[in-house]
Each structure stands twice: as structure tokens, then as C-alpha cells.
Structure 1
Amino acid sequence: MDPPHPSPPELRLPNLTPLKLLGQGAMGTVFLVHDHLLDHAANFPFALKVVHKSSFVAKHHAERRARWEIQVLSRLSLPKPHPFLPDLIGSFESDEFLGWAVPYCPGGDLNVLRYRQMDRVFSPAVIRFYLAEIVCALEHLHSIDIVYRDLKPENVLIQQSGHVTLTDFDLSRKLTRKTVKDVVSLDDSGHEKLPVVAARRNFTRWIVGTAKVKKGLRKAKSARVSPVSRWKSGLITNNGERSNSFVGTEEYVSPEIIRGEGHEFAVDWWALGILTYEMLYGKTPFKGTNRKQTFRNVLVKAPELIGKRSDLTDLIERLLVKDPTKRLGYTRGACEIKEHAFFNGVKWDILTEVTRPPFLPAREETGWRENKAPGGVGIEEYFHRQRSPPSFPASPSPSSSPSTSFHLHNNGICLAEF
């Protein structure tokens, strides 16, 4: 039985002053805010997601997802925050609103960052760095019985430090993990030992390779599949609990979800394979002209691996195995992925000590302080005056077409979708 979750710290909505509109969608609005009583100079702003209860679509299910996300974030804060996952700063609820706050990530998301690169792709060394941190984040989620189910570039945010954090947990679910007894022989800690390499702080020493930064435009987000379109009762198997809900993002959804045969933690490793492919080639491997063709490609098409075979393409191929029981990560989770040859030389326990990640948020991406002005539109007033433009600066909209995600749209460079 899980320990009881303490109530998240309570925020007082009247004390929260919005500095910037970060994103807006059917399910909620995200603001960059500061507590003008505790942090008058706005030195420590945070991202606040606010949902107006009257605007809930499919109200019961939407409200349940919102409360579930608060619960997951509260769990992630215990016993201490994970370096690559958000912690819950606080929450509030009134008759009109439900809201919660997480740390602000000024570096945007991985998709924005990729579109700034030369040829809009990452080098293998940069891919290795980000994948290593994402694997650690997923490993922690799985260790507390949470399957993420929404891994995609838009949900990988860049912290001020240059390290990543995953966001948006409303599609996640708690599942019972399958056992690994009699499958492999493990050491006392439950993991096979990794080769030890010397600790290094500099990214270019941590793993050799760099990539140039070039400004560019982001693409529109992929359409997220509605999580209410195919609900079934949960299925319990000998290998652990499986979920039968139909959730995800079109281009990232796994074959077992499309088939409706039940899924578990291996869906996150499939999504990791799609993410890796997109980081390397600048596109997802199974996108069709419409949703039906995309799903058909996911079920029957092999990923096209262009160029000379390498450890990286081998990793992609092993993550994108259609049969989840044969997919890399199915049997021993993140341990199998960490042991892949692509990660040879990675010192997993010093990832947070890398003080020079591939990219750091540029100075202009934290320029909201210059626009801070007292007496702007408050959060409650903003919702009451939705037909009028807010008096605080909003994030610039990308020139690409708007997102069709089921929940929140990200706008501009400063993103905080969760």
C-alpha cells in the first residue's frame, strides 16, 4: 500500500500576479506568475496551470484527470524532487478555479530546440545526453508504478540549468509492475552493474560531440488521441496489470494501444524510440496522410533507418519492435536500455553534475523581468475578461499552424505545458 500523500502546499490566488501568458487550450491556461507578497521582485517565478471549472469538456472525466495530475505531481515531490521531473510547488481550489504550480522551464521544449539546429536535427552526442536524462525520468516513474503514456518532444522541457524535465501527467496511469523473477539474474540492488568511467562535469567531456545552434521555427504539434475514445475495464495478467484505455499522440502511439489488446510500461519505451527517431531524422517514422494511415503504418511498417547503421539506429530499431514483449525495456525496464551500446561510457550517477549541457536558455528567453509591471490583469480578472486581450505580455505565437492536442497548446518560446 502506498503511503498517504500529504496535501500540496496551498497557494492563495489573490497573491499570484501573472507576468506572462505561457499557453492556453481547452483544458486550461498556463501563466508565468510570482507571489507578489513573498517574491515582490519576481526573482523566482513559476508556472501556474489554471482550469476554469465551468469550461470542463466531458466534465467528470476532465476534472478527474486534473486532480490526478495534481496527485502525481505531489507524489513526484516525495521524498525529494527528482532532477528530471517536476515537483509540485502548490495548488489551490475555489468554486470557480482549480490550479497548481510547478517550476518554470525557460528553455522551451525539445521540439523548439530541435528546430533551432542546423538541418533541424540533433547530433548523436546531443541525443545521447537528452535520452539519458529522459530514461532516468521514466525509470523513476516506473519505479513508483506510473506509466507516463505521453512522451513526445513538446513534453520534454529545458530547465534553466539546461537539463530536461518531463511534464504533462494527465494521461499517466498507475499500474502494477510485472515481476522479473526467474527472468534474469540480478545483483542485490536489482540491476546489473554498469562499467565505471571517470566522472566529468563538462558536457563535451561527458560524451564527445557538439551541435550548432540556429534559430528556426517549430512545427505544429501532433494530434493527441482522445483518452475517452476507447475505455475498457482493466485487465490483470500474470505479468502485471495492463491498461486498455486508448490514449497518446497519433505519431507516438504504440501498436498495442491501437490494437486495444492492453498495454503497460513498454508503451513508454516505444515512445522513446519514436522520440529518438525524430531527434535523429527530424520527422517521426510512421506519419501518414491521415490518422488511419498513420495507425496502419504503426502496425505494419518498419521504421526507415536512413544511412549507415550505428548503435543509435540499432537502439531505435530495438525500441520500435511491434511486439511489446520483445521490445527493449520490456523485461528489465530502463536497466536494459542503459546497457545498450549507444550509452557506452555514460556515467549515469553524475548526469546532474554536468554543468555545461548542450544548450542553455539564452538571455532573451528570460527577458520577461523587463516587462514586469504592477497593477496588471489578475488571473481571476483575466478569465472574466476573456474576450479582451490581457494587459500582461503574452508569449508570441509560432508561425506554424496551431496544435490540435487534446489539452493545452504551447505558444512561443517559454513553454509550460503540464
Structure 2
Amino acid sequence: MFSVFLSPGSTLTFEDLVPVLYQEGRYQGDPVTLGIGGFGRVELMTTLSHGKYYAVKRVSKKHIVSKRQEEHILFEKEILKAIQSDFIIRLHAAFKDTRYIYMVMEFCSGGEIWTKLKEVGRFEESIAVFCTACVVEAYSYLHKKNIMYRDLKPENLMLDVKGYVKLIDFGFAKEMVRGDKTYSFVGTPEYIAPEIIKNQGHDFAVDFWSLGILIFELLAGSPPFSSSEPQRIYAKILDGVLKFPPYMSEAAKSIISKLCRPRPGQRLGNTKNGIKDVRHHRWFSNINWHKLRMRQIDAPTIRLIRKGPCYINFDRFPYDQTKADEEFSGWDRDF
């Protein structure tokens, strides 16, 4: 184990962490895997001393280098290190060895919003409103720090033990000076704003576009522009025709239409009052924003969370015993 970053007040060492094992079922006795992504695995760990749980993201350094993601990973760590918001996942520590980098994150025991959405088909309005309000608070915090998020989708939203929503995965986040534009092509196809597709340069407005897409997906169970071919999705986004299902409320249709305006300068959240306009939209009329920030609202999402072993709200994955190759280029000196 080489260098380590620890959040203030943390005295965690890598040796303190032990895997949590499945207690039953076909993977009984194997370490619990919470998720698998293109970049590695997230495993559930605990400490012998005080029994706290952590989600540990383990990524192959060789894979990072081959995909040229060194900058992204270093930036993600720097962002998470600096962030202190109840609506964004906490990074407790970071470690590395010759094969992997490890990010020791807060464990959100309620699972992914994406999983819950698949279980119930679509969310009732009060749940969608609450989830989206949490995202608005996360955005407000990030945008104040001049950080664009750029990867909103149900897979990147987790539920904590109280049912509050937290943003995870900052692989596409970028620091931006107000008034500047950037030209990189990033995001998940269904959530990409038209100006990214047209390569016209983009800014914070893309986060409001994706918020509109998220609201639609939470209420309908699938996003408004979809296809198995990314090119067809982009064509539909550029056409910009939103087809609302009949059960969607007028307030929901209104906020989605205003967030998903083709012209970034006309989007709700991106005009002169900024994010205040989003908070003041009538779709959020039942949200007390101060109480939300103080975590004093009883989250309606709590009824989506199953009771049982700490990993009950996650899909199960087989244990992977293969080891990544070692990597010695030194890009992770500062990790």
C-alpha cells in the first residue's frame, strides 16, 4: 500500500478493512460486491474495530491507463475530497498498490435508484419529487463550486439509510469558470443535451437538461429519447419532441418542458435567477427546501428500501478472483 488520503478525523488504514461476506444464497461465504462498472468493482467492506460499513471502489490502474482516464480519476478524487454535502457521496480515504487504486466511500445501504425504479416500474409523483429535490440540492452545491456534474442518471443516485438521495460517480465532472464553454463529448446517450451533440460548446446548462430527462424517467420508467442505437437517440434529442404519457401531471410536464428547452439560455435553472427558478417551480410546491437541507423531511423513498442483511438492497454479483496486471508508469504519484 502506498500513499493515502484520509478525510479529516479519519484514521482508517487499508489493513483495517475486511470484506463483508454473503450470509446466505448461492454466493454464501463470498465477499459482497455492490456493483460492477466498466472501470472495476465496488465491494462492501467493514472494520473489525467499530463495525462501520464502507463501499470500496477498486479500479485497475492498467485499465485506467489504457482508457486514458488518469486525469479523470485524479480529478474525481480531488473533487470528492473537497466536497461536504449531505446530497453527495463522501470519500473517506483513498489507497493504492501496484495493481489498483481504491476509493473508500460512504456506504448507502438503500441501494441504487435505478434498481428501485426497475422493481416498481415507475415512481409515484411524491417519490420522484423528493428524489429530484435531493439532486437539485447536490447541483446547487456543485454549481456554487463551479463544478458541472454531466452524468446524471438513475444509476448514479443512491439511497442512504434514511432514504435520502446522494449523487455518486464524478468521472465526468468538470471545473468550469462561469461564462466559459467546453467541447468534450461526454455523458450517457439518453441524457446528453443537444448542444453537446452539436458540438457547439456547453456549460452548466447541460445539468439542467439532464434533470428534465431524469424527472421524465422517474415518472415514466424510461427516458423520453431512447433507442438501441446511440445515433438514433441523438437524432431524437435534436428533434426535441417530448411525448408525455397520459398519466403524467400538468406540473411534471411543465417542469420537464422548461428544463429540456433546446436552447441552453432559455432553460429553467440557467436564466438569471439560476437554480432558484427550479426550486420555485410548482412541481416542488410540497417541498420545504430548508427542512430538506436539514434532513428533517421523512423521505417517501423509505418504503422502497427492503429490510434484511446490509446488502439486501443490492443486486448480487459473483466474486471475481482474477487479478489485474501491475502498472508502474507513476501517473498515480499524487493519488
Could you state the TM-score of these two structures normalised by the residue count of structure 1?
0.67
Structure 1 equivalent of residue 307 of structure 2? 363
Q: Distance in 2 between matches of 1:266 and 1:350?
A: 27
User: Which is greater in Rg?
Assistant: 1
Q: Distance in 1 between matches of 2:243 and 2:301?
A: 27
Structure 1 equivalent of residue 119 of structure 2? 116
Could you state the TM-score of these two structures normalised by the residue count of structure 2?
0.82
Name which of structure 1's ranges 266-275 and 102-111 shifts more when overlaid on structure 2: 102-111
**1:223-252, Cα deviation, whole Å (9 max, x unpaired):** xxxxxxxxxxxxxxxxx1111110000111
Structure-to-structure mapping, 1:75-114, within 5 angstroms: 75-76=82-83, 81-114=84-117
Find 1:67's aligned residue among 63, 66, 74.
74
Name which of structure 1's ranges 129-138 and 12-21 shifts more when overlaid on structure 2: 12-21
Structure 1 equivalent of residue 270 of structure 2? 330
* Structure 1 residue runs of 4 or more that deviate by more than 4 Å after TM superposition: none
Structure 2 equivalent of residue 53 of structure 1? 61
Q: Secondary structure at the match of 1:242?
A: coil
> Which residue identity does 2:323 align to in structure 1?
H
Q: Is the 8 A contact 1:147 1:175 kept in 2?
A: yes
Find 2:287's aligned residue among 346, 365, 370.
346
> Which residue identity does 2:63 align to in structure 1?
S
> Which residue identity does 1:116 align to in structure 2?
E
Q: Is the 8 A contact 2:181 2:202 kept in 1?
A: yes
Q: Distance in 1 between matches of 2:137 and 2:191?
A: 20
Structure 2 equivalent of residue 17 of structure 1? 18
Q: Distance in 1 between matches of 2:239 and 2:309?
A: 42
Is 1:130 the counterpart of 2:138? The answer is no
Q: 1:345 to 1:30 in 2, by over 3 A?
A: closer
Q: 1:290 to 1:116 in 2, by over 3 A?
A: same
The structural deviation recorded for 1:161 is 1.0
> Which residue identity does 1:55 align to in structure 2?
H
The structural deviation recorded for 1:344 is 1.8
Q: Distance in 2 between matches of 1:293 and 1:26?
A: 23
Instruction: Provide the aligned C-alpha RMSD in A.
Output: 2.3
**1:354-379, Cα deviation, whole Å (9 max, x unpaired):** 234332532125267xxxxxxxx9xx
Find 1:257's aligned residue among 177, 187, 196.
196
Unpaired runs of 5+ in structure 1? 1-5, 178-239, 369-376, 387-418
Structure-to-structure mapping, 1:130-149, within 5 angstroms: 130-149=131-150
> Which residue identity does 1:349 align to in structure 2?
H
Q: 1:142 to 1:350 in 2, by over 3 A?
A: same
Q: Distance in 2 between matches of 1:367 and 1:85?
A: 20
Greater relative contact order: 1 or 2 (C-alpha under 8 angstroms, separation 6 or more)? Answer: 1
Q: Distance in 1 between matches of 2:309 and 2:182?
A: 40
Of all paired residues, the percent bearing the same amino acid is: 30
Structure-to-structure mapping, 1:229-378, within 5 angstroms: 240-307=179-246, 310-331=250-271, 332-351=273-292, 352-360=295-303, 361-366=305-310
**1:169-222, Cα deviation, whole Å (9 max, x unpaired):** 011000112xxxxxxxxxxxxxxxxxxxxxxxxxxxxxxxxxxxxxxxxxxxxx
> Which residue identity does 2:238 align to in structure 1?
L
Q: Is the 8 A contact 1:288 1:297 kept in 2?
A: no
The structural deviation recorded for 1:7 is 4.8
Q: Secondary structure at the match of 1:115?
A: helix
Q: 1:362 to 1:174 in 2, by over 3 A?
A: same
The structural deviation recorded for 1:319 is 0.8
Q: 1:97 to 1:261 in 2, by over 3 A?
A: same
Q: Is the 8 A contact 2:72 2:172 kept in 1?
A: yes
Unpaired runs of 5+ in structure 2? 21-31, 313-318, 326-335
Q: Distance in 2 between matches of 1:302 and 1:157?
A: 30
Q: Is the 8 A contact 1:136 1:334 kept in 2?
A: no
Structure 2 equivalent of residue 151 of structure 1? 152
Q: 1:128 to 1:113 in 2, by over 3 A?
A: same
The structural deviation recorded for 1:339 is 1.1
